[in-house]
Amino acid sequence: MKAVEITEFGTPDVLKLTERPTPEPKAGEVLIKVSASGVNRPDVFQRKGSYAPPPGISDLPGLEVAGEIVGGTLDEKHNPFGLKIGGRVCALIAGGGYAEYVVAPLGQCLPVPQGLTDVEAASLPETFFTVWSNVFQRAQLGKGEGGENETLMVQGGSSGIGVTAIQIAHALGFRVFATAGSDEKCRACEALGAERAINYRTEDFVEVVKSLTHDRGVDVILDMVAGGYVPRELSALATGGRIVLIATLGGSKSELNMGEILRRRLTVTGSTLRARSVDFKAQIAQELKANVWPLIEEGRIKPVVFKVFPAAQAAEAHALMESSEHIGKIVLDWS
């Protein structure tokens, strides 16, 4: 099969099209003929040598794919969606997605939502699993002290994670605020459901969200920046609020006022998804199928694909990702 490999750690041009043996599915796995592969920020970190795949996982980058099941054992116990050989699926994987064929745990495969192309479907798993796991499972949006009227703020609202978080929370009836680095990106966030998007280059997000919530603050903040943002985010939280961290683009160290955390019952938490168990991810898949897939099929949540590259141009796709000029997802096409 053709695949895109990291020939050495470095700049985007280290990504090269090559030939690899087609992988063979093990028990509980299926073989997928890949039509499209999503490109995500962790792929960039892996290319640079700072995010190694878990033990036993392919060294090829790529955390999400869409395509056709062409092999494997679809046992009834691990197949809650009734998937079949020849069925179209999108899947979350721990690596190996930049290839014409990939193996995926059956529990991490979801049927392609009705009406979506494989390119659109390939843009879903990594961000949808991440957002559901962190915003709704870990941070418990809607189940804290603010109840069903809780609010969410999304840092980096125009990113793949950001456009996903905005749309899911908005479709489920929550007030959403977002930050972005340009007025154009702010307008895009608002078009997707953010009540107000804040240009962090020209505005103070703490002041804006406090004014929009009558000085109460927001209940949950989804943060991929960390560093110096976290102390400011504490000030933007309502009593009982939660910050959930999914990346540290602004640095891994923060200075926090522990007295404020104690007095106002605040929570700072976080997680990474790649190394979690198949059972954990399978549970997320089932919750997405029940709670989010119907919203996609109704058109209330839509894939936001900024640009599609032929798979051989993976280097150009990574260069675009690192430029941060995109709004939404970047996808590789294997057709």
pLDDT tens digits for 253-301?
999 999 999 999 999 999 999 999 999 999 999 999 999 999 999 999 9
Compute the average pLDDT of residues 180-195: 98
Q: How many residues does the chain have?
A: 335
Contact 91, 107 (CB under 8 A): no
Strands 151-154 and 218-223: parallel
Residue 300 structure tokens = 């209330």
Residue 289 structure tokens = 């199928």
CATH 3.40.50.720 region(s) of the chain?
A: 129-270
135 DSSP assignment: I
Residue 242 structure tokens = 């939660």
Compute the average pLDDT of residues 134-152: 96
Class of domain 129-270 (CATH, top level)? alpha beta
Residue 118 structure tokens = 């494989």
Mean of the per-residue pLDDT values of the chain: 97
Handedness of CA 115, 120, 122, 123 (dihedral sign): negative
Q: What angle do CA 84, 43, 112 make, to 5 degrees?
A: 25
Compute the average pLDDT of residues 219-229: 95
Run of H or E including 102: strand 101-105
Task: Note the helical H segments in 6-94.
Answer: 41-48
CATH fold group of domain 2-124+275-333: Quinone Oxidoreductase; Chain A, domain 1 (3.90.180)
Task: Note the helical H segments in 133-182.
Answer: 160-171
Does 76 have pLDDT greater than 90?
A: no
Q: Which residues contact 202 (CB under 8 A, 6 or more apart)?
A: none
pLDDT at residue number 327: 97
148 CB neighbour count, 10 Å cutoff: 10
Contact 74, 104 (CB under 8 A): no
CATH 3.90.180.10 region(s) of the chain?
A: 2-124+275-333
Does 187 have pLDDT greater than 90?
A: yes
Contact 148, 172 (CB under 8 A): no
Count, in order, helices (H) and strands (E) of the chain.
11, 15
